[in-house]
Amino acid sequence: MSSSLQLIELNAVPIEEQLKIEEALLRLTDDNYCIINDGSIPSIIMGISGKVDELVNKPLINASPIPLLKRYSGGGTVVDDHNTLFVSFIFEKKAHDFPCFPERILKWTESFYKEALQIDGFSLRENDYVIGDLKCGGNAQYIQKNRFVHHTTFLWDYDPQNMEYLLHPKKAPKYRQDRLHDEFLCRLKDFLPSKKSFISKVKETLKEKYDMKATSLNPLIPLLSTPHRKGTSNIALPI
């Protein structure tokens, strides 16, 4: 029997709010969720252990401020905007028959998105999703005793100017080979007809694998004010 899964679809919810919703669902419920969010206000999101001095172009963000966040999960630094697609899975470990370690979760999601998107050349490369040797999505995870989160930032499109907010990280994937952003990234819009198509493909595959039902965020809002551990934070500017 397939596991139950609640689908929450969001439209242009700022990524800071989405991350806070995820944390509340992770820590205060036992249900399985998939959250799909189409776009956000421009923001920079670092992993929990990220260091501003090593990752962010401080003169630029101070001159042209956008929100600078630390999320509750690990992973690298991304800059997002209205052309970013976010997909987050929040699961009880017992929902799957594989051991819930980082590499195994990544392989499961790779298989899921290969089946869903049907894009030639789509694969997992180190911790990123790539098409060929160009990055189209970045991943981060949070794993606790009985539950885990795997969330992805997909580049439907991106503004090269926004990428100037990010420094070249000291620790980068080997396959990047010191390439600049424009030489290292690709846009999903060059491989799929529309954002709607992307979202439909993900939803169709979820329906095939889980007992999925759409749910509204409204009844879950009170969880945000219920006491729980909160790892997502906004870094005050200037820095």
Per-residue model confidence as pLDDT tens digits over 51-75: 999 999 999 999 999 999 999 999 9
Mean pLDDT for the stretch of residues 177-182: 89
Confidence band, pLDDT 50/70/90 cuts, at residue 2: confident
Nearest to 98 by CA among 117, 111, 114: 111
Instruction: Fill in the DSSP letter of residue 103.
Output: H
Q: Is 152 helix (H, G, I), strand (E, B) or coil?
A: strand
CA atoms within 13 A on the CB side of 90: 23
4-228 has CATH 1.20.120.1630 classification: no
pLDDT tens digits, residue range 15-49? Answer: 999 999 999 999 999 999 999 999 999 999 999 99
pLDDT value at position 169?
85
Greater confidence (125 vs 171) lies with 125
pTM of the model: 0.96
Q: Is the predicted pLDDT of residue 1 greater than 80, yes or no?
A: no
- Amino acid at the residue 217: L
**Mean pLDDT computed over every residue of the chain:** 96
Average pLDDT rounded to a whole number, residues 73-99 = 97
Q: 198 falls in which pLDDT band (50, 70, 90)? A: very high
Give residue 122's pLDDT: 98
Residue 143 CB contacts under 8 Å (≥ 6 apart), including other chains: 100, 101, 102, 105, 149
* Calpha distance 221→111 (Å, rounded): 32
pLDDT classification of 172: cutoffs 50, 70, 90 = confident
pLDDT for residue 171 is more than 90: no
Coil, strand or helix at 120: coil
In this prediction, what percent of the chain has a pLDDT beyond 90? 94
What count of Cα atoms within 13 Å lies in the side-chain half-sphere of residue 106?
Answer: 17
Kindly tell me if the per-residue pLDDT of 182 is higher than 90. no
180-186, Cβ contacts within 8 angstroms, sequence gap of 24 or more? 184/134, 184/135, 185/134, 185/135, 185/136, 185/155, 185/158, 186/131, 186/132, 186/134, 186/135, 186/136, 186/155
